[in-house]
Amino acid sequence: MNGLSTSIWRGLPQAGLAAIIAIGLAMLAPDQGYYLNILMQASTYAIAVVGLVVVLGYCGQISIAQAAFFGIGAYGVAIGTVDYGLNFFVAMLIAVGVSGVFGLILGLGSLRLGGHYLAMVSISFQQILTLVLTNWIEFTHGPDGIRNIPRPRFFGLSLQGGNAFLALCLVAMVLVALFAWRLKATKLGRAMQAVRDNDLAAATSGIDVFGTKVIAFGISAVLGAIGGGLFAGGFGYISPDQFSFAESIVLLTMALLGGVQSPFGALIGTMLLIILPETLRFLKQVYLAVYGAAVILIMVFLPDGLWGFIDDRIRRNARAITLPAPKLPLLSQTGQMGTEKVLEVADLAKHFGGLKAVDGVSFAVRRGSVHALIGPNGSGKSTFINVVTGLYVATAGKISFAGQDITTLSPHQRNRRGLARTFQNIRVFRGMTVLENVMIGAERDGNDVANAPAEVLTRALAALDFVDMRADAHRMVGELSYGHQRYVEIARALAGSPDLLLLDEPAAGLNMTEKVELGNLLKRLKGHGLTILIVDHDMNLVEQVADHITVLNFGRRIADGAPGDVLRHPDVIAAYLGEPRHEVA
C-alpha cells in the first residue's frame, strides 16, 4: 500500500493541471440548460464507470450492480441533506462509506464464486436494493423519490450555481480517472490484473487473490457512490427507477464500449453513450436495437473497447522504447550446497475420494541443490507440486519450509515465505507486458525490494537479463512464442528471489532447440546456487542438472538418492518400462 500512495502522489502535478482545465471548461459551459445537464450527467456517470474499470477491467470480476452503488451514493446524499440536515460532504462521506461496505460484502461473495455466480450475486443485490428503495417509504421516500436536494458550499465557496457544481463534478471525475490510471501501474493494480489473467499463478506469485478481489469491489463501490452523490446534487431530484438493473447494464455497456482496461476508455464510453442517444434520436426505437447489436459487435471486433483500439495503435508505434541500462546481475537467494533442508515433506498424502494420488511421500530438498522429482505419467508428481505450493490441501502429512510448518498455509502465504513455482501448462498474465509480469514476481511480499518501486523495476530487469529477454520487456506476453513465455514465467519466479524454485515440467511443449536452451538456462541457474526442485520426464535434462533424484510411482516414493544410484535402481527401471497407469492429475 505504501507503494500505492507514493505512486499516486507522484501524479499530483498532472492531477492539479487537469483539475484546473476541468474548472476552466466548467466555467465555459452555460450556467443552466441542456449542455450543463448533459455534462453533469456524463461526468457523474463516468465516475461510476471508472469504478467498473477497476473491478471488471483490472480485476476481471463481473459486477452488474454499479447502478446500485450509484444509487446508494445518491440516496445517501439526498437523505442526509434533506431529511437529516447534514452538510453535503458529510452526507456524501457517509454514503460512500456505506457503499464501500456493501462493495466489500459483495466482494466477499467472490471467495468461493466466480464468473456467472458473481454476476448473479450482483444482480440479486441490485434487485433487492431497488425493492428496498421503492418500498421502505419511511426512510427512502419510496417511489416518489427525493426532491430539492441542496448543493453544497466548499470552504466558503458557493457551489449553488450550475457552473460551480459542474466544476466540482468534473474535478472529481478527473481525479478519479487519474487515480484509476495511476492505480493500474501500482503494486495493487498489477495484483488485480494478475488475478484477472490467471488467479492460480497470481496466488503462487504471492498475491492474496481473495483480498485483492474484495478491495477491487470496495474501490468500485466507493467510486460508484461518489458519482451517485454528485448526481443527486447536480439534478436535485432522485427516484428509485434511476438506479435499476437496466441502469447497471447501461453503465456496464459504457465501460465496455469505451474500453474496460483504462479510465480514459470509461470517459469515452460514458460520453458516447450519453451523447449518442441524443444524436441518434432520428433512429427512434431502432436506436436501442442498434445499441444491442453494437454491444455484440464491440465484444467481437473491439474486445478492448474504443480506447483499447486507440491505445493499441499508440503502443504499436511507440514500441521502439528500450531500456538502456547495462545488463544487470541477478540477485537471488543462493547458498552453498549443504545439509540445511529448505523443504522437507513428511508422509505427505493427497487423496481424491478413493484415489491416492500422493500416498505418504517423504523427502527433503537441501539448500543450494538441484533436486529432481521424476516418475512415469500419473505417478503423482503434479499433484505433489500442487500440494506443496498450496493449490491442493494435503490429506495428511506435513510440509516444512525453511524450518516452518507451512502445511495449512494458502498459496500466496507460501510464496511470501520464498516458495516460487512455474507451471507445466504455462501460466503467465496474458493481458500484461513481459516486464509487468516479472515485476509482479519481484514485488511479492517478503521479497527484499517488495515495497520499493524503483528497485522492483531493477530487479525485474535483472531477471529478464538472466533469461535474455530484456528486448521484449514491453511486449505483451501473449504475443510471445511458447518457449519465451516459459522464460517469462521463470523470470517472474526468479525476480522474487525465492528460497526454493519449483519447476513443473519446464521442458513440456518445447521444441528441440528450445529444450537445449532451457538446459543451458538450468545449468546457469544451478551455477548461480539457487535451490531448485524440478519435475520432469526428460531424463536427459534431469541427468544434466540434478544433484539428487526422487522417484515417485503410484503416488509413493520408490527411490531417493544420487542420480547414478537412483537411475540404476531396479524399481525405477521397472516403473519406467512397465505399463503407465492412467493420468491422475
Partner 1 sequence: MSNFLQLLFNGLGIGAIYALVSLGFVLLIRAASVVNFGQGEFSMLGAYLLVVFFNIFGINYYVSMALSIVIMAGFGVIFAYTTYWPLRFRGGLPVIISTIGASIFLENLVLVLYGPSSVQIDGLFDADGIQIGDVFLATQYLSIIVIATILVVLQYLVFEKTLLGKKLQATSQDKEMASLLGIPVVFMILITFAYSSAMGGLAGMLVAPLLFVSVNMAGIIALKAFAANIIGGYGSIPGAILGGLALGVIETMGASYISVPYKDAFAFAMLLLFLMVRPQGLFGEKISEKA
Partner 2 sequence: MQITRRGALLSAVTTFAIIGRARAADTIKIGVVTPLTGAVAEPGRIQLNSTRLAAAKINAAGGILGKQIELLIEDDASSNPGAVLAFSRLAQNQDIVGFIGSIRSTQMNAMAPDMLKLGKPVMFGGTDPTLTHQGNPWLFRCRPNDSYSARVLTNFCLTSLKLKKVALVHSTDAFGTGGKNAMLENLTKAGVTPVLVQGYTNNQPDFTPVVQAVKQSGADVLTSYFTNEPDCAIFARQLRQLGVRIPWVGSPSIISPVTTGLAKNALYGTYGIADFVEDSNPTAKAFANAYRAEHKETPDSGWTYDGMTVLAKAINDAKSTEPAKIREAILSIKKFAGVEGEFNFDKNGDGLHGYNIVSNNNGKIDYKEHIEFTD
Residues within the interface to partner 2 (CB under 8 A): 30, 32-38, 41, 131, 134-135, 137, 142-145, 147-148, 235-237, 239, 241-242, 277-278, 281, 284-285, 287-288
Q: What span, in angstroms and rounded, lies between the C-alpha atoms of 242 and 50?
A: 19
Which H or E element spans position 574? Answer: helix 570-577
Selection from partner 2, partner 1, none that 239 binds (CB < 5 to 8 A by kind) is partner 2
Which CB atom, from 39 or from 298, has the smaller least distance to partner 1?
298
Selection from partner 1, partner 2, none that 143 binds (CB < 5 to 8 A by kind) is partner 2
Which CB atom, from 29 or from 502, has the smaller least distance to partner 2?
29
Selection from partner 2, partner 1, none that 252 binds (CB < 5 to 8 A by kind) is partner 1
DSSP 470: G
Which CB atom, from 9 or from 237, has the smaller least distance to partner 2?
237
Q: How far is the CB of 44 from partner 2 (least distance, A)?
A: 10
Query: 109: how many CB neighbours lie within 10 A of its CB?
Result: 19
Answer left, alpha or beta for residue 481, where phi above 0 means left and psi between -120 and 50 means alpha: beta
Q: What span, in angstroms and rounded, lies between the C-alpha atoms of 346 and 566?
A: 20
Selection from partner 1, partner 2, none that 32 binds (CB < 5 to 8 A by kind) is partner 2
Task: List contacts with partner 1 (CB under 8 A).
Answer: 60, 62, 109, 112-113, 115-117, 119-121, 123-125, 127-128, 131-132, 134-135, 200, 249, 252-253, 256, 285-289, 291-296, 298-300, 303, 382, 386, 391-392, 585
Q: How far is the CB of 352 from partner 1 (least distance, A)?
A: 9
- DSSP per residue over 471-493, as a string? GGTTSBGGGS-HHHHHHHHHHHH
Rounded to the nearest 10 degrees, the angle between the axes of helix 263-279 and helix 305-317 is 130
Selection from partner 2, partner 1, none that 256 binds (CB < 5 to 8 A by kind) is partner 1
Checking DSSP bridges between strand 370-374 and strand 548-553, what pairing results, if any? Answer: parallel
Which CB atom, from 35 or from 482, has the smaller least distance to partner 1?
482
Selection from partner 2, partner 1, none that 112 binds (CB < 5 to 8 A by kind) is partner 1
Selection from partner 1, partner 2, none that 302 binds (CB < 5 to 8 A by kind) is none
Which CB atom, from 23 or from 274, has the smaller least distance to partner 2?
274
3-state secondary structure 98-119: HHHHHHHHHHHHHHCCCHHHHH
N residues, the chain: 585
Residue 436 C-alpha cell reads as: 509487468
Those residues whose C-beta lies under 8 Å from the C-beta of residue 327, and which sit 6 or more positions away, are 465, 470
Phi and psi dihedrals of 569, rounded to 5?
Answer: -65, 125
Which CB atom, from 119 or from 452, has the smaller least distance to partner 1?
119
Q: How far is the CB of 138 from partner 2 (least distance, A)?
A: 12
Which CB atom, from 116 or from 284, has the smaller least distance to partner 2?
284
Let me know: does 383 contact 561? Beta carbons within 8 Å. Answer: no
